[in-house]
Amino acid sequence: MSGGLPQIEGRNLLAVDAVGTAALALVTVVSAVSSADAVQVVNLAVAAVLFLGGCAGFGIGFLRAVGRSRTEAVDLAGLFYLTGSAPQEARRWFLGLWFAQIAIAVAAIPLTDPPFAVMAPVWGIGVITWWASAHATFPPRTD
């Protein structure tokens, strides 16, 4: 394992997810200790990029999964939560990062004003959906 991330198929999406999570944590901590306008602008920018990026990732992943559903039995638990569709290590990392984003967002509510971080966990579910649509395994469709 180089860089601490597991060697999984689609590792680049996991790396992007980790970078987004780290940026969210950093900007939330800085925003909690400083109310400077520049800090708040950066806080908003990071949260907005993660929100919009997550929306785009979700859209890409969902449309790709719709295409796969013609020949494979794509289920929502496998697509959104990687249940039974991903290697355990990939599932652990993707869900761990998403839960970290949710925890950061919840912590930001009493610590930052305004709590822009509440938008950011869309990033995690978007990246998970995108990854699953490209790399998860689903059984063949039986009609």
> Does 40 have pLDDT greater than 80?
yes
User: Where would I find the beta strands (DSSP E) of the chain?
Assistant: none
> Does 1 have pLDDT greater than 50?
no
Q: Could you identify the residue written with the tokens 């929100």?
A: 51
Instruction: Give yes or no for a contact between 69 and 140, defined as CB atoms under 8 angstroms apart.
Output: no
**For the chain, domain boundaries:** 11-135
Give the global pTM: 0.94
Closest by Cα among 131, 109, 137 to 18: 131
Mean pLDDT in residue range 49-70: 98
> Does 76 have pLDDT greater than 60?
yes
What's the angle, vertex CA 91, arms to CA 70 and CA 65, rounded to 5? 15
> Does 3 have pLDDT greater than 80?
no
> Does 75 have pLDDT greater than 90?
yes
Q: How far is residue 126's CA from residue 110's CA, in Å, rounded to a whole number? A: 26
> Does 2 have pLDDT greater than 70?
no
